[in-house]
Amino acid sequence: MTHSYLKNLILYFFSLFFIFFSCNTYKHPDFSKKDVRKAQKVIGVDFSKNAIDTMYRYLGRNQTGYDSSRVYAIDNEVFPALLFDPHPNGFVIPKQQIPNNWEVTKEVILPLNEETIAFYTIPQLAALLQSQQITAEALTKIYINRIKKYDDILQAVTTLTEDRALTQAKKVDAEIAAGNYKGLLHGIPYGTKDLMAVKGYKTTWGAAPYKNQMIDYTASVIEKLDEAGAILIAKLTSGALARGDVWYGGKTKNPWDITQGASGSSAGPGAATAAGLVAFALGTETLGSIVSPSNRCGLTGLRPTYGRVTRYGVMPLSWSMDKVGPMCRSAEDCAIVFEAIRGTDGKDRTVRDAAFNYTNDLDLNTLKVGYLKEYFDKDTTVIGENNRIALTTLKTMGLNIEAVSFPKDFPYAIFDVILRAEAGTFFDELVRSEEVDKMVQQDYRSRANSLRQARFIPAIEYLQANRHRKVLIEKMHKIFQNYDVIISPTFGGRQLLITNLTGHPAVALPNGFDEKGRPTSITLLGNLYEEGVLLGLAKRFQEKTNFDELNPPNYKE
């Protein structure tokens, strides 16, 4: 045995001894090996004692990295470097644009009771404004006065933007008088969910820790509507941090039944539009927050394709699931608003420019339509009967409708971690500072509880969930390749979860009332970027029915 060999052997055993000694003597100031062993149970692993001894020092190193990152503030508008891509393999974004020639409704006469105007559609209001039968300032005051009259009941408004609105209205009147009419939204008063920043006004996100928050810029969607000449008159309630219909100031009510909440989290846009406090509103959806309040309040709500509308200046809840869309009186109104807000702004990198081809005279003979038969068949309530009647109405319009089903054999329970992990990331400082304790709701289903538990979601599980999500995207693409539209009960099965995960667009439209006289709805689902087809079919359905023309009775003179 050579001297050099003995020397190397001694060094080898010495290094093993050093590693063993350092691993077993190192002690992190904040957690012990016993803490690590207990934490395993939360994430579903069971490492050996030796494995924990070996990793313990590295976990301390990780903790040092976490601590160092928290020293550096991150701006609200910073997305993660990993951006969600909803496109199936080989998908081509439609680019061929047909001109959308919106027409002002003819022969609209100013009613004797001006408050009747509050329930007019956008084309009807546009006719009155363009013909100068009413000024934008007068119309704006009608809606502002209605807010002051009815909002104590509904609790749908967080901030009245009266000064901004009246300044805008005077500018619009001067433009129209000078012959500079911009289009159907010119002079139309509207409201926006209070997740969207408006410079000079509070942006509360519906939550007590942010009730005095001022953001020194304006969301891109608001700027787009400013450019179109629409008049922002109010910031409308959001359930706390986009959860439910309870916010720091109370609970937003359903105008059809004030014993019931307006549903969430675009509760304010739903209640305010339905009660005629605004002509239309902007909402957001991550997992049902446009569709659900549209259903409850009897509105037509459009949840666009993921990446259709910029979210710059809009509170993130889930970077890979959030969408901004209109909540209106009719499908045509939704189309008009969507045309104004869609498209890139150079700030939200997830947004894609794609064609939006809408027509009021959609050729139904060319449509391939499916329906989720099992969801229609299993509901024996009044709501289910309304859905089946709506389906019959669509068939009588000449549609050939085939039964279809969505994937069943899938790990749907894992997908919850996507929203929770992303929300937990954005609101991490809120949780660590314990300001989350100031939120009104603190129960099992509250946003506060959801944000806290997000800390226990492993990064591996989040990424695995997104791998399963990619498989789901491909499976859904195979289904949608065979159909232009798929019809579903609004809350049928898992369709809200599935289509929000895959980024597909949806339109919820009223189709009747339940046994208590509260609105119900049916939902049309479409291919990515095919909002024009969905809204065109919804428009044709609304020509055959009158549910979109009905309004809650207690908000009329």
Options 193, 253, 323, 539, the catalytic residue: 193
**Residue 35 is part of which domain span?**
3-69
More confident residue, 477 or 39: 477
Options 238, 289, 292, 446, the catalytic residue: 289
3-class SS at 69? helix
- Say if residue 45 is in the same domain as residue 131: no
- Say if residue 391 is in the same domain as residue 489: yes
- Say if residue 385 is in the same domain as residue 463: yes
- Say if residue 297 is in the same domain as residue 392: yes
- Say if residue 141 is in the same domain as residue 8: no
Q: Show which of 36, 69, 102 is a domain's final residue.
A: 69
Using pLDDT thresholds of 50, 70 and 90, give the confidence band for residue 107.
confident
Using pLDDT thresholds of 50, 70 and 90, give the confidence band for residue 106.
confident
- Say if residue 16 is in the same domain as residue 123: no
Between CA 117 and CA 277 the distance in angstroms is 11
- Say if residue 346 is in the same domain as residue 475: yes
- Say if residue 18 is in the same domain as residue 144: no
Residues with Cβ within 8 Å of 5's Cβ and at least 6 positions away in sequence, in order, are none
51-85 CB burial, b ≥16 within 10 A, e <16: ebbeebbebeeeeeeeeeeeeeeeeeeeeeeeebe
Q: Show which of 69, 104, 122 is a domain's final residue.
A: 69
Domain assignment present for 293: yes
pLDDT digits (tens, 9 = 90+) for 48-95: 999 999 999 988 888 898 899 999 999 999 999 999 999 999 999 999
Between CA 456 and CA 71 the distance in angstroms is 21
- Say if residue 156 is in the same domain as residue 255: yes
- Say if residue 294 is in the same domain as residue 235: yes
User: Which pLDDT does position 204 carry in this prediction?
Assistant: 98
pLDDT digits (tens, 9 = 90+) for 324-337: 999 999 999 999 99
CATH number reported for the structural domain that contains residue 125 in this entry = 3.90.1300.10
Tell whether the model's pLDDT for residue 12 goes beyond 70: no
Quick one: how far is CA 432 from the chain centroid?
Answer: 26
Q: By percentage, how much of the chain surpasses pLDDT 90?
A: 87
Structural domains in the chain (count)? 2
Using pLDDT thresholds of 50, 70 and 90, give the confidence band for residue 104.
confident
Active site residue 265: yes
pLDDT digits (tens, 9 = 90+) for 192-242: 999 999 999 999 999 999 999 999 999 999 999 999 999 999 999 999 999
Given a contact cutoff of 8 angstroms between Cβ atoms, the answer to whether 155 and 173 are in contact is no
User: Which pLDDT does position 35 carry in this prediction?
Assistant: 93
Options 220, 238, 263, 265, the catalytic residue: 265
Instruction: Report the pLDDT averaged over residues 393-406.
Output: 97
Domain assignment present for 259: yes
Tell whether the model's pLDDT for residue 439 goes beyond 90: yes
Given a contact cutoff of 8 angstroms between Cβ atoms, the answer to whether 26 and 56 are in contact is yes
Domain assignment present for 426: no
Tell whether the model's pLDDT for residue 23 goes beyond 60: no
More confident residue, 22 or 466: 466
Domain assignment present for 99: no
Domain assignment present for 26: yes
Domain assignment present for 450: no
- Say if residue 121 is in the same domain as residue 64: no
- Say if residue 38 is in the same domain as residue 184: no
How far separated are the first and last CA of the chain, in Å rounded? 106
pLDDT digits (tens, 9 = 90+) for 113-142: 878 999 999 999 999 999 999 999 999 999
Strand partners, 281: 191, 327
Domain assignment present for 34: yes
Supply the pTM of this predicted model.
0.94
Domain assignment present for 88: no
Q: Show which of 50, 69, 88 is a domain's final residue.
A: 69
User: Which pLDDT does position 14 carry in this prediction?
Assistant: 53
Active site residue 263: no
User: Which pLDDT does position 6 carry in this prediction?
Assistant: 61
